[in-house]
Structure 1
């Protein structure tokens, strides 16, 4: 007989930018009566559950389960190369064991697995077990297009078979997509060859998943990336998946939010505050950190700056910030982590200085904010191209001969962005297009509804 409720297993790549949007997808499914088992690594599970996510608050239809990533508890999970190698070696077997254990209970069997595109290997595991699958891509579709074109890039001698760029020739994936530098491909911005090669191997799994899955869902909209979606019409936009429907505000966050900054924003004039946040991976050396701070000081604008643990690894940061904030006074506020979507929606915020991670990009455009772009690695450089050159809703920074964005450059770009109403006007137009997509009748809303309907229909058709 059919199971009592469809049961979906979801597995993200263990990084905050991947966990947050797919957690939102999980909670959308729960709202529609679908049982979800959300799989994270043990280390990620500990981070997420220790920062405000209460298992009981997820409801009866969702549970979080962890499996080992293969590393010892004390090993550095910021070492992307080591973590990814360990995932590829360890987690396929662990996932298969977990599914077999769950499926022993006839009424609780997994009816579908949704794998993060960066965990494409999971699709192969469940296909072998006879379980239906879907893939979910948390970044831009333009980034995904560069991965899908990997064989052409190899054939054209732009990269070798391990993903290493062979020359500096600009890449034009199609006539309709903006050009990109080889060093800005999603896997080539790491400093060492070993990391580039293992990330390339991981990402090729997304292309394999694309060929094997029945659904490939994307956290984007046709309004943001019409050219990329036209290249792959069977990719389904269901985004932006944001926290407005979230059952638990902290779902997926690795750090505890400081909501006190919202009261501080309440005291600032409308459209006056620069919000600065660089995501969960960006690291600054001390020189760059100080130049940014001094540029904010020179701008004379109110600012809210997220300085998360590990943003700069220099021990002198605290002492510098003490003196800096003594001079700034109430004009500035520094927090270790912010309730970002609430901040971006606040009327006092004028612009978003961002690393241009895709989640932050979606959150910024959904709130109609112009950007000051400061990308750090992977897809962030191509996202900057879209923000500045395609959508024309932001400005990038220029580095000096030492590779530093100086205080003067920070001041100048702040003044240029806030002094030209065109940037905000462009951002507001994009906001209207994007938000209409997730409303009833919009493309993303329709696609997500169709996917949910498919899950229910597949469950009704499963016979014991």
Structure 2
């Protein structure tokens, strides 16, 4: 009887597989901390390449993982690595398509082997949390009898567009010889969306069989087999979309998934060495700095970088600009206009990477020119910063719609039909940082920030959803182990005699 009770109340022990991109690893790490703080045992799996980059950025040896401090505080988080199928020296950014072919076809074999070994060594493992873009979640979960949990790190609107890609195809808005240009009004939970606001992959006309497209087709077919979907958003931001998804599957909006206290902790998942901007920030007036970052993944052209640089010069504002060395490409690192860095001395700071949370939470920062990555948007809202939107790739075009059209907490860097120009950039920067529309947008950001804060309160929507998710996972674990849970929460042996 004692053994049965122990099995019924078995602690959730989840394997977590983050997608091997910076913007996915960060919320996965934050989720691991949150789950471990709420009674989970976590075994976190990074690819060897990601682990190597993070360790190098932190100046740590490869045998030290990012959760050392978390374990010291009593959290049960283990860490291991997995081969993604490529040697460490392989340039995954430069050889993007080749890398994702490997993720699509080869990586699952490595996952299967690792999970088999882990489950064989530790029978307490009972759950699997995978990024929604992985194509093998249901196969691995079924094979090893694990609860199948899909974590989507982007907004629910993006999820539902991929989830209903068959409807887009059927109605001629995607994968057609000439994609329709009228408004899309048939996606459940989405009143209307223009084709130009679809993710970049769903705007494609001819090349719809790239590795990423095939990952989308398979991954978002596979997610329909998940036991639970959790999403880094809040109900109040996307109520109708979330309600429609909830009709399909158990869906929990648990965002924003931030680090504890929204501060830089001993747990850093940064893949680049971070510059400390504090001294420079402290020397500037309150709200005077525009933070500029195009994220960790997307690329842009040398011409566009030049226009942004000259727009910043013309604007006269103080700025911090995060410019990855590979922002144009891995083999073109000389992309700034000649003499630019000399001309911005005193009012501009260029860094290759920094702790974004540390910078945008500083009182001197008053706005954010962003590529519209979802992590950046949520962090900006939390800091009360209005946004200038410059989407480059993937979900960023859809995120822009949420920011500018739906939430009204930002402006576009350039109108959809206009060409990016330094004069236009200068005008938009000045409008955001102190123009007549600036105060209106800032007031709206405060309202949306309050929505996020309220959602995370003890009785807020995200807190309630998270607690419900945890309880539902525990119940599912008990069911998988041959038990059911009665209405009083007591375990009952499920021997199939009904």
Length-normalised TM-score, structure 1: 0.90
Say yes or no: does 1:227 pair with 2:243.
no
Aligned-pair CA distance for 1:319: 7.5
Select between 242-251 and 410-419 the one with higher mean Cα deviation. 242-251
Equivalence for 1:12: 18
**SS at the partner of 2:344?**
helix
Contact 1:170 1:182 in 2 (8 A): no
**Equivalences, count:** 456
Select between 125-134 and 182-191 the one with higher mean Cα deviation. 182-191
Cα 1:317/1:10, change in 2 over 3 Å: same
Select between 184-193 and 275-284 the one with higher mean Cα deviation. 184-193
Deviations 1:304-346 (A, max 9, x none): 11112211344433683xx223222211111111211122211
2-structure distance, mates of 1:192, 1:14:
27
Equivalence for 1:200: 213
Say yes or no: does 1:349 pair with 2:399.
no
Cα 1:90/1:206, change in 2 over 3 Å: closer
Contact 2:181 2:194 in 1 (8 A): no
Contact 1:186 1:379 in 2 (8 A): yes
Say yes or no: does 1:126 pair with 2:132.
no
Say yes or no: does 1:56 pair with 2:68.
yes
**SS at the partner of 1:389?**
helix
Say yes or no: does 1:136 pair with 2:136.
no
Length-normalised TM-score, structure 2: 0.84
**SS at the partner of 2:133?**
helix
Aligned-pair CA distance for 1:198: 2.6
Aligned-pair CA distance for 1:378: 0.9
Matches within 5 A, 1:285-296: 285-296=301-312
Say yes or no: does 1:25 pair with 2:31.
yes
**SS at the partner of 2:327?**
coil
Equivalence for 1:425: 443
Aligned-pair CA distance for 1:435: 1.6
Aligned-pair CA distance for 1:186: 4.9
**SS at the partner of 2:340?**
helix
1-structure distance, mates of 2:66, 2:90:
26
**SS at the partner of 1:329?**
coil
Equivalence for 1:85: 101
Aligned-pair CA distance for 1:429: 0.6
> RMSD over aligned Cα, in angstroms?
2.7
Equivalence for 1:98: 114
Deviations 1:21-72 (A, max 9, x none): 0111111112223221111222112112322364533416222222222234
1-structure distance, mates of 2:83, 2:464:
36
Deviations 1:142-192 (A, max 9, x none): 0111111111122223223xx887444443335744413268335246798
2-structure distance, mates of 1:175, 1:213:
20
Contact 1:302 1:332 in 2 (8 A): yes
2-structure distance, mates of 1:183, 1:345:
29
Instruction: Name which one, 1 or 2, has greater alpha-carbon Rg.
Output: 2
**SS at the partner of 1:66?**
strand
Matches within 5 A, 1:390-429: 390-398=406-414, 404-418=419-433, 419=435, 420=437, 421-429=439-447
Contact 2:290 2:318 in 1 (8 A): yes
**SS at the partner of 1:51?**
helix
Cα 1:250/1:449, change in 2 over 3 Å: same
Matches within 5 A, 1:30-429: 30-52=36-58, 54-59=66-71, 61-78=76-93, 79-106=95-122, 108-160=123-175, 166-172=179-185, 173=187, 176-181=190-195, 184-188=198-202, 193=207, 196-233=209-246, 234-245=250-261, 248-259=265-276, 261-313=277-329, 314-317=332-335, 320=338, 323-398=339-414, 404-418=419-433, 419=435, 420=437, 421-429=439-447
2-structure distance, mates of 1:391, 1:142:
13
For structure 2, the 5+ residue unaligned runs are 59-64, 484-498
For structure 1, the 5+ residue unaligned runs are none
Contact 1:5 1:34 in 2 (8 A): yes
Cα 1:99/1:273, change in 2 over 3 Å: same
Contact 2:183 2:192 in 1 (8 A): no
